[in-house]
Structure 1
Amino acid sequence: MIDQVKVLSGTAHKEFAEQLCKQLNIELGKCDCGKFSNGETRVIVDESIRSKDVYIVQPTCNNINDNIMELLVIVDAVRRASAKHITAVIPFWSYGKQCKKEAGRQPIVTNFLEKCGVQRVISMDLEAPQISGFFSIPVDNLYAEPLIVKYIEKHIKGERVVVSPAVDGVKRAKLVSDKLNCDLAILDRQSKESLDDMVLVGDVSNKVAIIIGSIADTCETLALGAKVLKKRGALEVYALVSHGELSGSAIETLNQSELKELVITNSIPTNDKVKQCPKIKVINVAPMFAEAIRRIVHGESVTATSNKFTIL
């Protein structure tokens, strides 16, 4: 059945698509993406995909709106080429912050994918799980948490305490602390305007503090959290997050911070950022996505996909 699968990639993270295809033992499909001189997105699918199950790999990161537009153009090209089924593989969904209406006249950015012809979405650690409820098509939200737990068990020794960097991240952090059978602490910023107003709830004295988060963007909150934890007696501070956007001056902030390591996944291309900051370590989640695709093709459960893999 896997011979009916065709994987195409946009320009956002072609390396991820190649790793995924390697795990599936298939070749990456021929899809030429570029721009016309006026900036208009140009897509040409250079092989037949008629009656194929097509998986389009395109995280919405870096040049977010350009990458989303490129994804939509690829979807349209594939639909017009008579693909049997179209799945968008989006390792990182960037519009997760707009998953709820907190005031009138605010958007919820999700269903434009299905309007363009996407029939299924595979993503990982959405900003909020309820995002999947705004789609009328199947959404497989994979979780990096089992791989994060395995990384901690293998590479971070000593008496541990798991730390949530914000109140709304407590559930994610508690899942990890329960599996590691260790204490849980919470960092709470009292003011969104000030980075210096952070309160710690819990005991981290003489322990290895492990911050568990969803996205590392500017890394200012992580750096401040590490500073607070060290002041409160933590021996070392690690941070493990699902997605490493690392925008703005994030690399400089990390290098100057008291974090020992920042562990991210390759849901977003790191480019040369790992070379610029030796504190950054990367967990490869492409095999997990490949396994999810294999299970979907064969009609198997996707729920426990990430539990299959070990950390090197």
Structure 2
Amino acid sequence: MDLHQKEIQGFFNIPVDNLRASPFLLQYIQEEDDIIDDVDSFVAAAETLKERGAYKIFVMATHGILSSDAPRLIEESAIDEVVVTNTIPHELQKLQCSKIKTVDISMILSEAIRRIHNGESMSYLFRNIGGR
């Protein structure tokens, strides 16, 4: 499960496959919460993580609302990066906080719109569009 180096597979005299936990972790995150608005809980959690020895702290969400004092609180916190998609414009917040980063998802959104408009199957998006 989640081998740190793929070369580890060569040290076994039986078949070994590297299974990934990431799909299950991502599903859990998506089902729990995918919006960042008020960041107080993230800032508090980051402080605790830093006190306990965390080297880097990343916060990720699909929708970065980041209202009111969120950019300032993030900038002053132990959080290293907040990564959000561009489903919501947040250019002003990025000007206020250098730790906010954006992942562009326009490709998948435009492809979904095109497929719906042309009456094509959406299943392609689930099989063939990935982050890498």
TM-score, normalization by structure 1: 0.31
Structure 2 portions without partners, runs of 5+: 5-19, 26-31
Matched, 1:179 2:22: yes
Structure 1 match to 2:75: 255
1:1-312 paired onto structure 2 within 5 Å: 178-179=21-22, 213-305=33-125, 307-310=128-131
> What are the Cα deviations for residues 28-86 of structure 1, in whole angstroms up to 9, with x where unaligned?
xxxxxxxxxxxxxxxxxxxxxxxxxxxxxxxxxxxxxxxxxxxxxxxxxxxxxxxxxxx
Distance 1:282 1:220, change over 3 A: same
| Secondary structure at the counterpart of residue 62 of structure 2 | strand
Counterpart AA for 1:241: A
Counterpart AA for 1:178: A
CA distance in 1, matches of 2:47, 2:122: 39
Identity %: 33
Distance 1:292 1:248, change over 3 A: same
Distance 1:238 1:269, change over 3 A: same
CA distance in 2, matches of 1:296, 1:180: 26
CA distance in 2, matches of 1:285, 1:278: 20
Deviation at 1:296, TM superposition (A): 1.5
Deviation at 1:179, TM superposition (A): 2.4
Counterpart AA for 2:73: T
Deviation at 1:223, TM superposition (A): 0.7
Deviation at 1:295, TM superposition (A): 1.6
* More deviation, 216-225/296-305: 296-305
CA distance in 2, matches of 1:308, 1:255: 32
Q: Is the 8 A contact 2:71 2:94 kept in 1?
A: no
Counterpart AA for 2:22: K
| Secondary structure at the counterpart of residue 101 of structure 2 | strand
Q: Is the 8 A contact 1:214 1:242 kept in 2?
A: yes
Deviation at 1:272, TM superposition (A): 2.0
> What are the Cα deviations for residues 87-141 of structure 1, in whole angstroms up to 9, with x where unaligned?
xxxxxxxxxxxxxxxxxxxxxxxxxxxxxxxxxxxxxxxxxxxxxxxxxxxxxxx
Equivalent pairs counted in the alignment come to 107
Q: Is the 8 A contact 1:223 1:259 kept in 2?
A: yes
TM-score, normalization by structure 2: 0.69
CA distance in 1, matches of 2:124, 2:55: 34
Between structures 1 and 2, the one with greater helix share: 2
Q: Which has the larger radius of gyration?
A: 1
Deviation at 1:309, TM superposition (A): 4.7
Counterpart AA for 1:179: S
Distance 1:239 1:303, change over 3 A: farther
Q: Is the 8 A contact 1:213 1:239 kept in 2?
A: no
| Secondary structure at the counterpart of residue 272 of structure 1 | helix
Deviation at 1:180, TM superposition (A): 7.2
> What are the Cα deviations for residues 129-181 of structure 1, in whole angstroms up to 9, with x where unaligned?
xxxxxxxxxxxxxxxxxxxxxxxxxxxxx9xxxxxxxxxxxxxxxxxx72279
Structure 2 match to 1:93: none
